[in-house]
Amino acid sequence: MEQQDLNQETTTTEESTVVPTKPSKKEKFVKEVKSFTFIIFSVLLFRSVLFEPFKIPSGSMIPTLLIGDFILVNKFSYGFKVPFSDWFSDPTYITGPSKPLRGDVVVFKYPQDHSLNYIKRVVGLPGDTIEVVDKVVYINGVPLSLKAIDGKEQIEDMDEKYKRYNFKFFETLTGEHKHVTQIDQDNIFNSNFYKVTVPNDHYFVMGDNRDFSADSRSWGFVPFGNIKGRAIAIWFSLSFPWPWGGDEQESLAFRPWRIGKLID
């Protein structure tokens, strides 16, 4: 019995003094690559099916969105997608899909070049007739609700290069979304748009900055499969100087009061 105890003590002592071997440089490298790959994959997965950030590069959605606004887009607004399924073709949906509502601000692949992302407001749904008469948008023969406002708040935030125009501002109700649109009273070129009918599974979109927006009036309808998601909030806002100089030169503008603003 004493011999057994002695042997057991000896074995325990020997086991406790075993020094673990250090991983080789190759093993460390492989481990780091695996960790890095997992992080990248997780980020891409998150952006593919949940939320994706975008930066606003142009003024087509002023005053709702300003140049330099960083926005968050809900990728599952219209249903959960199979991860990465919309990278090379129309997305495959796991749930739904539900359809965009009138007034939603959506990010979509530009129909004429899928490598470009555009952001506009949904104005016309499948089957709607859309026309513009004297800068007033008519949906199925009914004009959008417009209430003229002074626009002082909108002008204060606006990028310098747009402040020289003769804008008129309207509180607008598009579907259930209340927002502000603006028109340039000196611009006669976009006053009218002939009546069109929105095809099935397509949408007619417009920018809130009506006279400075290339949208469905110029390049047609947006197929549902092109829509990436709905813009929901501004998470940062920083405007850089306008690079071409002249009257349009502006200084760096950080807009902290826009951070956290919901997009209606």
- What's the CATH superfamily of 52-258? Umud Fragment, subunit A (2.10.109.10)
Q: What is the pLDDT of residue 80?
A: 81
How confident is the model over 201-214, as pLDDT tens digits? 999 999 999 999 99
Domain boundaries along the sequence of the chain: 52-258
Report pTM.
Answer: 0.82
Q: Would the CA dihedral through 61, 66, 68, 73 be positive or negative?
A: negative
Q: Catalytic: 152? A: no
Name the E strands within the chain. Answer: 51-55, 69-74, 105-109, 117-124, 129-133, 136-139, 142-143, 145-149, 167-174, 177-184, 193-197, 202-206, 222-223, 227-239, 253-254
Mean per-residue pLDDT of the chain: 85
Mean pLDDT of 98-105: 97
Q: Catalytic: 120? A: yes
How confident is the model over 21-52, as pLDDT tens digits? 777 777 777 777 777 676 666 666 555 556 78
| Alpha carbon separation from 43 to 48, 52, 127, 203 (Å, rounded) | 9, 10, 38, 30
Distance CA 188, CA 71 (A): 32
Which of the residues 81, 109, 120, 228 is marked catalytic?
A: 120
How confident is the model over 123-138, as pLDDT tens digits? 999 999 999 999 999 9
245 or 255: which carries more pLDDT confidence? 255
Distance CA 47, CA 199 (A): 30
Which of the residues 48, 60, 77, 237 is marked catalytic?
A: 60
What residues are paired with 206 via a beta bridge? 121
